[in-house]
Structure 1
Amino acid sequence: MEKSTVQNIRLGVLVVLGTVLLVVAAYLIGNRQNLFGSTFQINAVFKNVNGLQKGNNVRYSGIDIGTVKDIEMTNDTTIVVYMIIQEKMLSHIRKNAIASIGSDGLVGSMIVNIVPGREAGPPISSGDQIASYSKIGAEDMLSTLNVTNENAAILTADLLQVTEALKNGKGTFGRLLNDTIMSDNLLQTSANLKELSTQANIMLKQLNEIVANIEYENSVADVLTNDSVSGQQMKNILTNLELSSVQMVSVSRTLDSLSTRIYEGKGTINYLATDTVFVNQLQHTMQNIEEGTLRFNENMEALKHNFLFRRYFKKLEKEKGGKE
């Protein structure tokens, strides 16, 4: 009886130890899939691991190549993830590979995905650190969607206000939508512009035809373009015209100054033009001279018929006739 009890105790202890060993072995095998193979270690730095844990799988181009050994938080923005990779992948992973954290399916555990770089690079070595890429988390996406929804609500409210204003005929566009007279005017204006454009095209076409029919050779334009002497002469003519215009301006200023002085009462001309008394005296004097000349002619005619001077005047007439 005592022997049977001891054997049962020993059997129970063995069963308990076996069970414990089996659980420990399963745990170790689960956390380290490459427990009995050759491995090397690499790491990557992330700002957010999104729930990644020790023992999660590491994949390279979709193939399981290792597990997460440890996660170490250096500071509030730096988290180092250490990974154990199968040694046979040394020749495949390059130093420019990029690591990112994703999920294994929709509801699966988190994994580390390693993708090759775009350009060729040297093979990776044990202990190297590769670049990382942090994907947008679900919370960030929800936050962004929330902001987007708020902006969409504000935009919708503004659109409703604009639509209501358009329906009520407020603003320029509202008047255009509701005022048929303005719409007809705009249509007429558009038709007029179209007709004007057509007429302009016709005029341009006719102008091109006129220019094309002009005989360029032996024309003034041809001479001015190709004859350097004529070009120089034309340049001299323009220079002379410019000098003449300057001189005309100077003469105009002189005449203006002279007329101003005359108008202001300076000089004989102004005196003659403005003094009416002197003008009347001058007119009377000229009248007296004319009357004196007339009387002198009459006296000379009388002297011709006087017997004292008759022979003298006949002699003068004979001398005058002889000279002719």
Structure 2
Amino acid sequence: MANPQSSQKIAAKVGLFILIGIIILAAGILTLGTMRKSFITRIDAEATFESVNGLTKGNNVWFAGVKVGTVREILFTPDSKVKVLFSIEDTSQPFIKQDATVRVSSDGLIGNPIILISGGSPQARMIEDGFKFKVEPDVTQQEMLTTLQANNKNILSITDDLKSIIADIRAGQGSIGKLMKDEALYANLNKSMATVESATRDLKRGANGLAKLTDKLNADGNFINAIATDKEMYPNIKKTVASLESTSQTLKETTVSAKQMVNNLEQTSNTLLNNPKSPVGVLLHDEKAANNIRETISNLESSSAKLDQNLEALKHNFLFRRYFRNQAKEEAKRKADSTANAKK
């Protein structure tokens, strides 16, 4: 006959195992529900890729850094492309727009492949069940590794060049090497720097002086400031300058006219002097005519002297003496009247 205590122990053990199994089942269901979100309503979507880069069924779909769905199925198309069917949670549907794009990315640098949804404008309509996304070309991990390898080669080449430059500097080659090795060159450089520093100070002083001069010119009451700010003075100056320009132009035209007149007089003089038929030319070139003119002038002078003598003789003649006395009295009276009027 079985021991009652032994039967109770067996029953307790069986109950304990059943309880543990129920707990494990519940935990598994909750875990699967958390990981796969099996109890959440979803909508279907798809996209066709040239290559999925190792994407498999069950991989995640991400939008704005948040997991919003999973890959349901991967199929080949007749044109050797890959169609990926995936589901998206309906709670994320209003935020994903129809102008968004998808690409195959990775969860981290070397993580699992994922489908990444990006882009979309607020004014676009939200996606619907069965929506086909446009595919954005993605950089594959192999391309990234190839780029990294090329960059490593470039860095290695740069390092080799840097080593060569440092070796040349240590050997005293090149400008920097000579500067480090040659003390005389270093001293000359110091002198040059001192000269440049002195010139800089002088330039700074000149700039300060120019600034002070500018401040003085801009001060109220200054002539330059008055010209720049007085609305009446500037037009007057402008008119004066215009008048000076007009006067200068008139003087210039007058000078040109005077020069032309001088040229004309010179030409006329040359014509008169060089033309023996003109009166002046006859006087200058014909000695006979000149002598005749001299004799005529001499005769005129002699006749004038004789005429003066005759007039003087007439004054003393008793027939004309009274006439000349009356003329003298009238002349004296006119002078006296003129003097009296002048004194009044």
Q: TM-score, normalised by structure 2?
A: 0.52
Partner in structure 1 of residue 148 of structure 2: 145
Partner in structure 2 of residue 49 of structure 1: 52
Residue from 277, 281, 284 that aligns with 1:278? 284
CA distance in 2, matches of 1:142, 1:42: 31
Q: Give ranges in structure 1 of 5+ residues lacking alignment.
A: 1-32, 170-174
Q: CA deviation at 1:83?
A: 2.2
1:111 partnered with 2:119: no
CA distance in 2, matches of 1:263, 1:254: 14
Aligned pairs for 1:62-101 (under 5 A) are 62-63=66-67, 65-72=69-76, 75=79, 79-85=81-87, 89-93=89-93, 94-96=96-98, 98-101=101-104
Partner in structure 2 of residue 258 of structure 1: 261
Partner in structure 1 of residue 61 of structure 2: 59
Q: CA deviation at 1:318?
A: 1.8
1:136 partnered with 2:142: no
CA distance in 2, matches of 1:285, 1:144: 123
Residue from 216, 219, 223 that aligns with 1:209? 219
Residue from 294, 316, 319 that aligns with 1:310? 316
* Cα contact 1:99–1:131 (8 A) shared by 2: yes
Change (3 A) 1:222 1:101: closer
Q: Secondary structure at the match of 2:221?
A: helix
CA distance in 1, matches of 2:232, 2:312: 83
Q: Secondary structure at the match of 1:190?
A: helix
* Cα contact 2:47–2:132 (8 A) shared by 1: yes
Q: How many residues end up aligned between the 2 structures?
A: 268
CA distance in 2, matches of 1:317, 1:75: 153
CA distance in 1, matches of 2:58, 2:112: 7
One-letter amino acid matched to 2:74: D
Q: CA deviation at 1:90?
A: 3.6
One-letter amino acid matched to 2:316: R
Change (3 A) 1:68 1:201: same
Change (3 A) 1:207 1:64: closer
* Cα contact 1:41–1:82 (8 A) shared by 2: no
* Cα contact 2:102–2:133 (8 A) shared by 1: yes
* Cα contact 2:61–2:67 (8 A) shared by 1: yes
Q: Give ranges in structure 2 of 5+ residues lacking alignment.
A: 1-35, 180-184, 332-344
Q: TM-score, normalised by structure 1?
A: 0.54
Q: CA deviation at 1:84?
A: 4.5
Change (3 A) 1:289 1:73: farther
* Cα contact 1:101–1:113 (8 A) shared by 2: yes
Q: CA deviation at 1:241?
A: 7.7
1:323 partnered with 2:330: yes
Q: CA deviation at 1:268?
A: 4.0
Aligned pairs for 1:206-245 (under 5 A) are 206-209=216-219, 211=221, 222=232, 242=246
Q: CA deviation at 1:157?
A: 4.6
* Cα contact 2:104–2:114 (8 A) shared by 1: yes
Q: CA deviation at 1:200?
A: 1.9
CA distance in 1, matches of 2:194, 2:39: 89
Whose relative contact order is higher, 1 or 2, with alpha carbons under 8 Å and at least 6 apart? 1
Change (3 A) 1:260 1:50: same
Deviation digits for residues 153-202 of structure 1 (CA, Å, limit 9, x no counterpart) = 469859959x9754258xxxxx9996455544433433333222222222
Q: CA deviation at 1:291?
A: 7.1
One-letter amino acid matched to 1:323: E
1:197 partnered with 2:200: no
Q: CA deviation at 1:124?
A: 2.5
* Cα contact 2:217–2:224 (8 A) shared by 1: no
Q: Secondary structure at the match of 2:208?
A: helix
Partner in structure 1 of residue 8 of structure 2: none
Q: Secondary structure at the match of 2:219?
A: helix
CA distance in 2, matches of 1:177, 1:143: 51
* Cα contact 1:176–1:183 (8 A) shared by 2: no
CA distance in 2, matches of 1:176, 1:320: 118
Q: CA deviation at 1:321?
A: 1.6
